[in-house]
Amino acid sequence: MIEFEVAPPAETLPKRDIKMSMLRGWRQKCPACGKGALYGKYLKVLDTCPACGEELFHQRADDAPPYFTMVVVGHVVIGGVLVLEKAFAPPSWVHLALWMPLTVALSLVLLPRVKGTLIGLQWALRMHGFGGATDDPVPDPSAH
């Protein structure tokens, strides 16, 4: 007989502060305590928080952080290009010299912060195992 660990119902668990956990993630800190580092390397999430021991390996940020980063950076850069072009109409090399490095720098700065924010949101909403339940499908008992 296969036994499964059952998490308590979500209604009985205390609410987690969504805003605070997302802000902690933005700061690249553990969404649970806000003290421990979230990453071991640039975008490599630690398995557990070094300060409080919260398990962080559950996170499933996947493709969302790059998508949101591209949306934000794209709007900033394209808006800047349009304003600069309308105001001064500089040569193309000025645009390239200004906007290419800014695009790369903004992307590299925002990506870990956006990913941390999404991990904080997942933690606060008890998604993907952060609430004690796994995302694994429940096996059909009649299949055995």
Residue 59, domain member (yes or no): yes
Q: Strand, helix or coil at 7? A: coil
- Residue range(s) defining the domain that contains residue 30: 15-132
Cα 24 to Cα 78: distance, rounded to the nearest angstrom: 29
Q: Say what percent of the chain tops pLDDT 90.
A: 78
> Is 111 within a domain?
yes
Domain count, the chain: 1
* Higher pLDDT, residue 133 or 85: 85
Query: Does 3 fall in a domain?
Result: no
* 79 vs 84: CA distance, rounded Å: 9
Residue 1 inside a domain? The answer is no
Q: Is 67 part of a structural domain of the chain?
A: yes
| 10 part of a folded domain | no
For the residues 79-107, what does the mean pLDDT come to?
98
Place of tokens 């928080």: 49
pTM for this model (two decimals): 0.85
**pLDDT for 29-46, tens place per residue?**
999 999 999 999 999 999
Q: Is the pLDDT of residue 102 over 70?
A: yes
Domain presence at residue 125: yes
pLDDT at 137: 60
Residue 140 located in a structural domain? no
